[in-house]
Amino acid sequence: MSREAEPPMAPGVGVARVEHFATVEQQRHAAVLGIWAWLVTELLLFSALFLVALVLRLQHPEAVKAAALHLKFWIGAVNTVVLICSSLTMSMAIAFSRMGWQRAMVRAMLATAALGSLFLVLKGYEYYADYEEHMMPFLALRPYALAETPASRLFVNLYYVATSLHGLHLFTGISILLGMTWMAAKPGFLARHQNWIEVYGLYWHFIDLIWILAFPILYVVNR
């Protein structure tokens, strides 16, 4: 196995074996493989949405363009920066956990959660601005700004589906992260559950990756 290039674990950091595993190594391996299997699933979940976006673009290029120009490009860009920053803090949390610096790790985790929340706040503001500009075609009672190009509502609605599904993942992620931070602040955590941080980090980076895909696919490419 090829973990040799990776910085070594500090003494006193590790994983406690759960009874049905034969070795700790097996347990760690299972956790990493498990989260990857889940992430592959998530990738296909979002890819199907991206495929729908692509088909819309092929079938209604003008309408999609009109819709994409109404998206808040700069909020999307700032949000991308926010998530990239959160990825850095998450990577730092993982690094600290390997070094055994528990307090620094907890702070990095809190920073990650804060950045994630900032993303959601900005996203919420974006939705609010969209609402003000009559860009919510799924609201039956509110006239739609681009009503003269009916096909544009498909793309705008898809934008809401994709971003809210991503937002849901982020919200779940933040909740889990906060719960885990609370546990991780307790003494002895790193001796028993260091791999939780690693596994969770993969999930967080992956949410980031999905946004890295969603931002250009929704906001940039169709301009």
Partner 1 sequence: MSGTSAIESGFAEREPHIPEPTLDRPIDYLHAQSTLRSWFLATDHKRIAILYLASITAFFIIGAVAAGIVRLALVVPDGAILTNDTYNKAFTIHGVVMVWFFLIPSIPATFGNFLIPLMIGAKDLAFPKLNLTSWYIFMAGALFTMVSVVLGGVDTGWTFYAPLSTAFSNSWVLPALIGVTIVGFSSILTGLNFVVTIHTMRTPGMTWFRLPIFVWAHYATSLIFLLATPVITTALILLILERAFHIGVFDPAYGGDPVLFQHLFWFYSHPAVYIMVLPGMGVISEIVPAFAQKKLFGYRFVAYASIGLASVTFFVWGHHMFVNGQSDLASLAFSALSFAVAVPSAVKVYNWTATIHKGRIRLDTPMLYAMGYIGLFVLGGLTGLYLATLAINQHIHATYFVVAHFHYIMVGGTVLAFLGGLHFWWPKFTGRMYNEAWGRISALFIFIGFNVTFFPQFILGYLGMPRRYGTYPPEFQLLNVLSSAGATILAAGYLFPMVYLLYSLWFGRRAPANPWDAKGLEWETASPPPPHNFLSLPEVPRVPYDYPIQERESGRQHT
Partner 2 sequence: MRNPLARLTDEDRARLRQHLRVPVLSFLALLGLLAVNVTLGATLPFAQVWALELAVVAVMVAVILLFSMEIRHEPPLVRLFAGLGFFWVAILVGMTLTDYLGR
Residue 30 contact among partner 2, partner 1, none, beta carbon within 5 to 8 Å by kind: partner 1
Return the C-alpha torsion angle 206, 126, 77, 51, nearest 10.
50
Of the listed pieces 52-60, 103-111, 123-131, 179-187, which binds partner 1 according to CB under 8 A? 52-60
> Minimum CB separation from partner 2 for residue 92, in Å?
6
Rank residues 113 and 130 by Cβ distance to partner 1 and give the closer one: 130
Sequence-separated contacts (24+) of 4-7 with Cβ below 8 Å: 7/95, 7/98
Interface residue with partner 2, options 144, 196, 200, 206 (CB under 8 A): 206
User: Could you tell me which residues are beta bridge partners of residue 15?
Assistant: 193
| 117 vs 75: CA distance, rounded Å | 15
Residue 14 contact among partner 1, partner 2, none, beta carbon within 5 to 8 Å by kind: partner 1
> Minimum CB separation from partner 2 for residue 193, in Å?
17
At residue 78, the 3 state secondary structure works out as helix
Rank residues 104 and 165 by Cβ distance to partner 2 and give the closer one: 104
Binding mask 109-128 for partner 1 (x = CB under 8 A): --------------------
Rank residues 43 and 118 by Cβ distance to partner 1 and give the closer one: 43
Answer yes or no: are the C-beta atoms of 110 and 182 closer than 8 Å: no
**CA dihedral sign of residues 19, 25, 31, 34:** negative
Integer Rg of the chain from CA: 21
> Minimum CB separation from partner 1 for residue 82, in Å?
26
1-to-4, 24, 143, 203 alpha-carbon distances in Å: 8, 15, 59, 22
Answer yes or no: are the C-beta atoms of 201 and 91 closer than 8 Å: yes
> Minimum CB separation from partner 2 for residue 199, in Å?
11
> Minimum CB separation from partner 2 for residue 128, in Å?
23
Residue 23 within binding range of partner 2, rule CB under 8 A: no
Judge residue 97's burial from the number of C-beta atoms within 10 Å of its C-beta, 0-12 exposed, 13-18 middle, 19 or more buried. Answer: buried
Contacts with partner 2, residue ranges (CB under 8 A): 1-3, 5-7, 29, 32-33, 36-37, 39-40, 43-44, 47-48, 51, 54-55, 58-59, 73, 77, 80-81, 84-85, 87-88, 91-92, 95-96, 98-104, 201-202, 205-206, 208-209, 212-213, 216, 219-223
